[in-house]
Amino acid sequence: MKLDRAAVLEAMRATHIPEATSGLWRVHRWSPRTPQVNRDGEIVAPGTYTSLRRLTWETADAGGEAVMSDDLPELRKHLEPIFRARGRVLVSGLGLGCVVRGFLANPAVEHVDVVERDPDVLTLVRPHLPRERVTIYQADAVAFAKSAARAGFRWDLAWHDLWSDRDGGEPALPITHQRIMLALAGQVAWQGAWAYPRWLREILRRRFPAARAFARAGERGGPGELRARCASLAATS
């Protein structure tokens, strides 16, 4: 069955999730009347969109950092894994649930396992997710990946889309995604991640030649320090 791109994108939208706040997180509705530039420098057409925001020290005056949005330019970046998915799928990071709903719109997907560590995100989003074909685990994604690998769990596809708490001293997002992908390299037939540069994919392939990873088109190389840190992680895993 051929998937309808427009239908999948519509299923991914988060307009049914009400505006609310829980802890440092909030669901926010925004309605630009003129074209806007999103966080990735892409044009967002006028309309009504939903964003998930997290209050940080740097963004306190701006109402928090926009962790994700259901504007079309952002949603389209997740279509690659959604369209190729089948069987059992693992999603690291719930966000607004856009990716989860996208996978569920694909009839070839039998079940989606979601890992989300933040109870406030779960409070805001979980009640508005479909109840069938979905299992949610409240856990740290890196720890979950390592435990799942030790237990021999397997998935047909995994997609990792997390947020890094830099105020809390967490590493840059590509490092966290690299740790998860290394832990699951032998457990997933195909996996990829948001903000996963091409040079990181090559590190993974050199460490695990049989692993397949997806890098978002147009990603550029990262800073030398980050590159060396991720290479070290691959060498010692």
Domain containing 162 — which CATH number?
3.40.50.150
Task: Give, for 110, the enclosing helix (H) or strand (E).
Answer: strand 109-115
Asked if residue 87 and residue 67 are part of one domain, the reply reads: no
Total structural domains within the chain: 2
How many CB atoms are closer than 10 A to CB 157?
Answer: 24
185-204: per-residue pLDDT in tens? Answer: 889 999 999 877 776 667 66
Q: How does strand 213-214 pair with strand 191-193?
A: parallel
Asked if residue 123 and residue 43 are part of one domain, the reply reads: no
Asked if residue 150 and residue 83 are part of one domain, the reply reads: yes
| pLDDT at res. 208 | 62
Structural domain for 63, as ranges: 5-71
Asked if residue 61 and residue 118 are part of one domain, the reply reads: no
Asked if residue 214 and residue 106 are part of one domain, the reply reads: yes
15-70: per-residue pLDDT in tens? Answer: 999 999 999 999 999 999 999 887 778 899 999 999 999 999 888 888 889 999 99
Asked if residue 95 and residue 62 are part of one domain, the reply reads: no
127-141: per-residue pLDDT in tens? Answer: 999 999 999 999 999
181 close to 157: Cβ distance less than 8 angstroms: no
Can you tell me the distance from the alpha carbon of 185 to that of 181, in angstroms, rounded to the nearest whole number? 6
In 3D, which of 67, 18, 76, 17 has the Cα closest to residue 44?
A: 76
